Structure 1
Amino acid sequence: MIVKETKLKGCFIIEPQVFSDKRGYFVENYNQKTFNKALGLDINFVQDNESKSSKGVLRGLHYQLGEYAQAKLVRVVKGAVLDIAVDLREGSKTFGEHISIELSENNKTQLFVPRGFGHGFIVLEDETIFSYKCDNYYHKASEAGIIYNDKDLNINWQLPSSDFILSEKDLILPTLKDAKL
């Protein structure tokens, strides 16, 4: 496994080792001991989630507040997404900055998004399956988010906005300046 820390401290790109032959491929997506040692962390994932979406679906930017904050390990099982992580840690040198990375079934790349970050993605291919592990349980009363088109974040979602498909909830999220952190 190759682990690279991004410009956002604590946020890591993970490239697992893929073994391919004429039969197909094998990849170990997650091994807690190897993962924690490589990242220098002690993460215990407690919940796995999966979504299936069509091209243009934009989910995010989401996070959970307080004691219900979540770290996530995200990957694409089928298709491709542009994945976004935004540093929302007050006092961080990179507060309000973001990274974007394409995750796909072909590159098998994963992204570790630590607690204190907003997270979202836009689907680049039809019938994309997105999977993620969380280190804390979902708590509806603690969910929060930031509007995807916040001018201060200036995220390039790579697709024309006329192609975006968003939930009603995601269309009314506040800007970073007005968000609960």
Structure 2
Amino acid sequence: MLTGRVDNFANSHLTGWAYNKEAPGEHVIVRVNFGTQIVATGVANILRPDLPKSGIGAGDHAFRIELPSNITSVNGLMVIAQSQKHGEIALPIATNDERTLDALFNSFTKRYDSALILLKQDMDDVKTRMEDHGSPGSHVETPDLPDDLAQRLIRLENRMESAEVFFVRIDEMMRQLVVEKKKRRKRFLGIF
């Protein structure tokens, strides 16, 4: 099954990703049409670190395609992902709302990851101090723990609770976007 998305169009370059779930090692061909004319092609073979986290193969399924200078927007473009064995699909082009949501999500993820890294460093430091002061069960005095460690753990717990709420909100927003997109498509096709 082919999947993917056009994430952005800026500086005459179209970026996104395309992936064949049935052939994870395949690098999908991406064709850009303007009306009936093919204006550019490329291959989805660029490594992007966020893709494996989202279950998109080994991460080397992004693309960056330069478009002719006379194309100044995505209006009128059709972007096609093509597999040699599994056909082709039109890739959705991210809306401004989806790009904004992606930016917010990426910003939050970076802050969350930073907080986890700091906690790990603090915990590793405490573990090292404990190991330096003897084995468990010995009568050696335990090392002093950082005064604000308890406060740090409380702040991290609060952040994790906020993260859960944030993820639930994102999930609900994504569901609403999908429902709205289906409604618009049905109206466009005259189904309802």
- Higher relative CO (Cα under 8 Å, sequence separation at least 6) belongs to 1
| More strand per residue | 1
TM-score (norm 1): 0.23
TM-score (norm 2): 0.22
| More helix per residue | 2
